[in-house]
Amino acid sequence: MENWIDIHTHCPGRGISVADRCLGEVVQPEGGQVFYSRGIHPLFIDDGVEGALEQVEREAAAGKIVAVGEAGLDRNGEAPLEVQAGIFERQVGIAARYGLPLVVHVVRAVPELIALRKKYPAFGKWIVHGFNSRREILHDLLRHGFYISVGAKALVEGTNVCRLLPEIPDDRLFLETDEGDVPIEEVYAAVALRRQVPVEELQRMVAVNFERLFSTLRINV
Ligand SMILES: [Zn+2]
């Protein structure tokens, strides 16, 4: 198995992927190993939300998913933030009950996210995905124990995440492709360059974090 771990994607490629079906069915890649996450995206909250929550719980209980999410808070969403927070908290509960990591989507609601994090001090597997915010936000998240997942924005000169990549501690970093068409290998290459480490070392570092958080999985990476 090639050692590319992609912790959040809608179109898996090489290596080990945690795929999210919330944007539609996932196409199995050639080669590569796909695991699934399931959650209720804050932009897709509708009348079916109770059934959707039951499905997340059912799949977690049956070991069909390796993470809950993406789930979270988005100030641009149609559902009011309080409603989103209620649904998100139920997913935090599921993740905590089954020991699964939580893949978090957050847009303009970091203080609210941190407030929720403080309500669940015993559950520590929170991964903010697609990070590209300001330095103060990064350090707030780090201080509260969040893991940070970085995607294709790492390839774009001048983005926040490009500048901040060296400030993410080794033991808090994950990489992802999300819905973009940048292959995971290119994300690793860009991140390795900005952190000034060889790609192989970055792969090892992410693998250690992956094994720690996704401890319900037994994968030899
Ligand atoms: Zn996504």
Mean pLDDT of 196-214: 96
What are the tens digits of pLDDT across the range 87-100? 999 999 999 999 99
Cα-to-chain-centroid distance, residue 150:
9
Q: What is the DSSP letter of 33?
A: E
**Any bridge partners for residue 102, and if so which?**
68, 126
* Res. 221 pLDDT band, cuts 50 70 90: very low
Residue type, 38: R
Residue 171 CA to ligand 1 centre (angstroms): 22
* Res. 31 pLDDT band, cuts 50 70 90: confident
Residue 175 CA to ligand 1 centre (angstroms): 12
Predicted local distance difference test score (pLDDT) of residue 133 = 97
Domains of the chain and any CATH numbers: 5-180+197-213 (3.20.20.140)
Predicted local distance difference test score (pLDDT) of residue 150 = 98
Residue 172 CA to ligand 1 centre (angstroms): 19
Give the environment of ion ligand 1: residues with CB less than 5 A.
178
What are the tens digits of pLDDT across the range 130-139? 999 999 999 9
Q: Do 14 and 183 contact (CB within 8 A), yes or no?
A: yes
Predicted local distance difference test score (pLDDT) of residue 155 = 96
* Res. 23 pLDDT band, cuts 50 70 90: confident
Residue 152 CA to ligand 1 centre (angstroms): 12
Residue 52 CA to ligand 1 centre (angstroms): 17
Predicted local distance difference test score (pLDDT) of residue 186 = 97
Q: What mean pLDDT is reported for the chain? A: 94
pLDDT above 70 covers what percent of the chain? 96
Residue 36 CA to ligand 1 centre (angstroms): 12
Checking 188-195 for CB contacts under 8 A at 24+ apart, the result is 188/4, 190/154, 190/155, 191/150, 191/154, 191/165, 194/154, 194/162, 194/165, 194/166, 195/165, 195/166
Determine the Cα–Cα distance for residues 84 and 164; give it in Å rounded to an integer: 29
Residue 71 CA to ligand 1 centre (angstroms): 9
Predicted local distance difference test score (pLDDT) of residue 217 = 66
Residue 70 CA to ligand 1 centre (angstroms): 7
